[in-house]
Structure 1
Amino acid sequence: MDLLRWLFEAQIPVAGSALLLREVLGNIFGLLSALGGMQRKVWAWPVGIAGNILLLTVFLGSLFGAASTATLLGQAGRQIMFIAVAVYGWRRWSQSRRDGADGAGHALVPRFASGRERIGLAAGMVLGTVALTPLFTALGSYEPVWADAWTFVGSLLATYGMARGWVEFWLVWVAVDIVGVPLLFSAGYYASAVMYLFYGAFTLAGFFVWWRAHTRTKAEAGAAVAEPALEGAAR
Structure 2
Amino acid sequence: MDVLRWLFDAEFHIGTQTLLWREVIGNAFGLASALGGMRRRIWAWPVGIVGNLLLLTVFLGTVFGTPNPVNLLGQAGRQIMFIVVSVYGWYRWTRRPADGGGAIEPQWASWKARIGLVVAMVGGTLILTPLFRALGSYEPVWSDAWIFTGSLLATYGMAKGWVEFWLIWVAVDVVGVPLLFSAGYYASALMYIVYGGFTLFGFFVWRRRRIARPEPVVTVG
SS state of the match for residue 203, structure 1?
A: helix
Q: Counterpart of 1:191?
A: 187
From the two aligned structures, give the one with the greater helix fraction.
1
Give the C-alpha shift of residue 13 in structure 1.
2.2
How many residues of Structure 1 are paired with residues of Structure 2 in the alignment? 219
CA contact (8 A) 1:62 1:71 kept: yes
Pairwise CA distance, 1:3: 2.6
Query: Which residue type is aligned with residue 47 of structure 2?
Result: V
Supply the RMSD in Å over aligned alpha carbons.
Answer: 1.5
Which has the higher Rg, Structure 1 or Structure 2? 1
**1:17-166 counterparts in 2 under 5 A?**
17-66=17-66, 68-96=68-96, 100-101=97-98, 103-166=99-162
- How far residue 67 of structure 1 moved from its aligned partner, in angstroms, is 6.7
TM-score computed with the length of structure 1 as normaliser: 0.90
User: What is the identity, as a one-letter code, of the residue corresponding to 1:62?
Assistant: T
Q: What corresponds to 1:167 in structure 2?
A: 163
Q: Does 1:216 align with 2:212?
A: yes
How far apart, in 1, do the equivalents of 2:86 and 2:198 lie? 20
Q: How much has 1:217 moved relative to structure 2?
A: 1.1
Alpha-carbon distance change, 2 to 108 in structure 1, aligned in 2, over 3 angstroms = same
SS at match of 1:109: coil
Structure 1 residue 68: Cα displacement: 4.7
Runs of at least 4 residues of structure 1 off by over 3 A? none
Return the letter of the residue paired with 2:38: M
Change (3 A) 1:211 1:67: closer
State the shift of 1:14 in Å. Answer: 1.9
Structure-2 change in CA distance of 1:140 and 1:216 (3 Å)? same
Assess if the C-alpha contact under 8 Å between 2:125 and 2:146 holds in 1.
yes
Q: Which runs of 5+ in 1 are unaligned?
A: 229-235
Encode CA deviations 1:79-124: one digit per residue, 9 max, x unaligned: 000000000000000111xxx24x3121011001000000010000
**In the aligned structure 2, how far is the partner of 1:197 from the partner of 1:177?**
7
Give the Cα–Cα distance (whole angstroms) in 2 for the partners of residues 66 and 199 of structure 1.
24
TM-score by length of 2: 0.95
Match of 1:200 in 2: 196
What's the secondary structure of 1:12's corresponding residue?
strand
Residue aligned with 1:140, SS: coil
- Aligned-partner Cα distance in 1 for 2:197–2:68: 31
